[in-house]
């Protein structure tokens, strides 16, 4: 639980901006792979938790990812969880998501 004086949402947005500026300068070494994995995992878990509670929003803001970003990440997530594209399609049809 966070303390009342902390605004974790604002802190997360500030961190995202800082990291985006490093990325824009090509300084990808500021985040080791383990940190990227942890951030991607926890962001995915928060997104899923929101959706399961009925809080619907797009996964990312407009123009925040390129199609290549999406394809590389989606492919890696499927591989990491031992899922096939076919299974994703079946799940989408079954759940309507």
Per-residue pLDDT for 29 more than 80?
A: yes
Mean pLDDT computed over 11-16: 96
Higher pLDDT, 76 or 5: 76
Task: State the Cα–Cα distance between residues 8 and 43, nearest whole angstrom.
Answer: 13
pLDDT of residue 3: 65
**Mean residue pLDDT across the chain:** 93
Please report which helix (H) or strand (E) contains residue 45, including its range.
helix 33-52
Per-residue pLDDT for 48 more than 80?
A: yes
Higher pLDDT, 5 or 77: 77
Per-residue pLDDT for 81 more than 70?
A: yes
Q: Which residue has the tokens 């990291």?
A: 19
* Chain CA centroid to CA 58, Å: 11
Per-residue pLDDT for 94 more than 60?
A: yes
Q: Which residues contact 57 (CB under 8 A, 6 or more apart)?
A: 50
């Amino acid at each position: 639980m966070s303390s009342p004086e902390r605004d974790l949402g604002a802190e997360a947005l500030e961190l995202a901006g800082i990291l985006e500026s490093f990325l824009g300068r090509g300084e990808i070494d500021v985040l080791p792979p383990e940190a990227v994995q942890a951030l991607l995992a926890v962001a995915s878990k928060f997104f899923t938790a929101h959706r399961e509670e009925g809080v619907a929003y797009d996964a990312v803001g407009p123009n925040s990812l390129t199609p290549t970003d999406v394809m590389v990440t989606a492919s890696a997530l499927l591989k990491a969880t031992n899922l096939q594209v076919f299974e994703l399609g079946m799940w989408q049809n079954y759940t309507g998501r």
